[in-house]
Structure 1
Amino acid sequence: MKKEKSVKLYLSYVRIFTQNYPNKDIIYLITKNKDVFVIEWLDDSKACLDTAAVMIEEVEQLAQQSIKDESAIPYLKVKIKNCLENCRSPLDYVANYIFDTYCRNNYTKKELHKFGKPYFPIRKTDSLFDICIRDNFRNLLNSRSDIVDILKSCQQFKNSTWLQDLTSLINENKHRNLTKQNDETHTTIRDLNFTHGGVEIGGISNITFVTSGHTTPIKYGGGNLDFSGETSYPFVNKMDTDVKRYFFFRDLGRPVTPTLKEILEGTRDVIGKLEKTI
């Protein structure tokens, strides 16, 4: 009983502190088994997003590495999964902070016991979003409508797609398997000249071939030509080419890297707005 009382006092102290000093990097509170954990939501969020940015670069590197080494693909999938999770976590960090700072006192102990952990509101329609705010962030609309406006601005019904894409991809990874992807190879031939008996017989220039999977557009002697520039051929006089491999989220039908960048920038934007507001 004594420990429980001290926990309540500590919670009250921190809640007052966050209300009086809203610009401090005080973060959300988690209570479990009468223990209190304080996490600096803003610092942790920025760390997650910086890490996600690095992972996007690594995804791009692994995609190109997979041209020569197919064993890179499982690691590519894991990087994508971790990048998505590092974009999702800051949204839930700030949701917890908002709930503990502005909403927790509006619920009874019994309600809080059943409530569980607050999550960032993600809804497909305006009406469903309003219901979510009413039920899961009680009185937030009355006390801090400016926060609600920011939460609403990134929803799908506000013509913003990144948040719904993030949710779909996270759920795919969590409940089924690592996100399925399609891939295609873009081979750009700036200049390719063929010879026979030391005589130039023709060539190809200024063209890009797009092929499904890891294939090259030209075969010779039953094998694919290597356009990476690392293989020499006696019948090729000049080879100025570039090969890129691109992966697509199968269910979304969208390219992996641009989608991850859009999700990252969307998350940065909403976290930045909330940082200035709360």
Structure 2
Amino acid sequence: MTGQPLDGARALLADSASEIGKVRELLHFSLKRRNVADESELAKIQVKVKNILENQRSALEYIAHEAVGHFGESGKRSYYPLAPTPSEWLKVMRKNLPGVESSRPDVTALFEKHQPYQPGHEWMMKLSAQVNDLKHKRLVPHVLDEIPFIDVGLPGGMSIRVPAELASENVDVAPGVAVKRMTAVRWTFDGTDLGVRRTLDEAQEIVTAVVDDFAVYLNW
């Protein structure tokens, strides 16, 4: 059975979604220990982040490749067009997707709908301009705060963590219950203020929306 043109993009995004979940677990708020990840853990996370960013960028390239193959000058190099301003749009479009503009103005308009200068798409330029740089950067932990908390038991053997200050006012704490400390950590890419988790989540959301839009419009 023949697949759809964007099946490869969907597979990449599905893999990215799974890996993002794993990264979230690794880049957690350090609830169980005071120290942040050691070098071996950082290396493992670095590989996952690199692969996620590459998959997200490659998903966009699937769209470009299929667009040129179906509507443009097949066989020529193609890249997903990303223009920083409306005035640069057609130049970038014609260069990256040769032949598509003249044969399918509607598809051209769909590509323009998903440009960095459009509302809600600002992050696309970050993905394009920084993906090659970010994926090689070290991940840096920043300790934000140390938050005292207690574990509050729930029915069924479950528990939740409650800030100690809140617990003292609203929760009956048995004598002798230890107040623990949680170290909140924000992870960024070295030399930037870009949070790792937010970067991956925003890129995943935007690229998924773009792939879905093309898939629905072109029945791909």
TM over 0.5: yes
CA distances 1:52-97 after superposition (whole Å, capped 9, x unpaired)? 0111111122223794541311111111110001111111111111
Q: 2:93 & 2:183 partners in 1: Cα distance?
A: 49
Q: Which SS does the other structure have where 2:80 is aligned?
A: coil
| CA RMSD, Structure 1 to Structure 2 (Å) | 2.8
Contact 2:59 2:211 in 1 (8 A): yes
1:246 aligns with 2:148: no
Q: Which residue of 1 aligns with 2:91?
A: 131
Q: Which residue of 1 aligns with 2:60?
A: 91
Q: Which SS does the other structure have where 2:63 is aligned?
A: helix
Equivalences, count: 190
For residue 156 of structure 1, what is the amino acid of its counterpart? P
Q: Decide which of 165, 170, 173 is 2:131's aligned counterpart.
A: 170
Contact 1:141 1:148 in 2 (8 A): yes
Q: Which SS does the other structure have where 2:182 is aligned?
A: strand
For residue 72 of structure 1, what is the amino acid of its counterpart? E
**What pairs with 1:197-216 in structure 2 (closer than 5 Å)?**
205-206=164-165
CA distances 1:93-129 after superposition (whole Å, capped 9, x unpaired)? 1111100110126xxxxxx6xx5x2111122122322
Once the two structures are aligned, what percentage of the paired residues are identical? 22
The structure carrying a bigger strand percent of its residues is 1
Q: Which residue of 2 aligns with 1:269?
A: 209
Q: 2:82 & 2:14 partners in 1: Cα distance?
A: 23
1:155 aligns with 2:119: no
Q: Which residue of 1 aligns with 2:45?
A: 76
For residue 210 of structure 2, what is the amino acid of its counterpart? V
Which 4+ runs in 1 deviate beyond 6 A?
none
Unpaired runs of 5+ residues, structure 1, are 1-23, 28-41, 106-111, 192-203, 208-235
Deviation for aligned residue 1:26: 4.5
Q: Decide which of 49, 58, 61 is 2:22's aligned counterpart.
A: 58
Give the TM-score normalised by the residue count of structure 1.
0.60
Report the structure number with the largest CA radius of gyration: 1
Q: Which residue of 2 aligns with 1:43?
A: 7
Q: Which residue of 2 aligns with 1:190?
A: 149
Contact 1:63 1:73 in 2 (8 A): no
CA distances 1:213-266 after superposition (whole Å, capped 9, x unpaired)? xxxxxxxxxxxxxxxxxxxxxxx9621443342201345412111221110010
Unpaired runs of 5+ residues, structure 2, are 151-162, 167-175
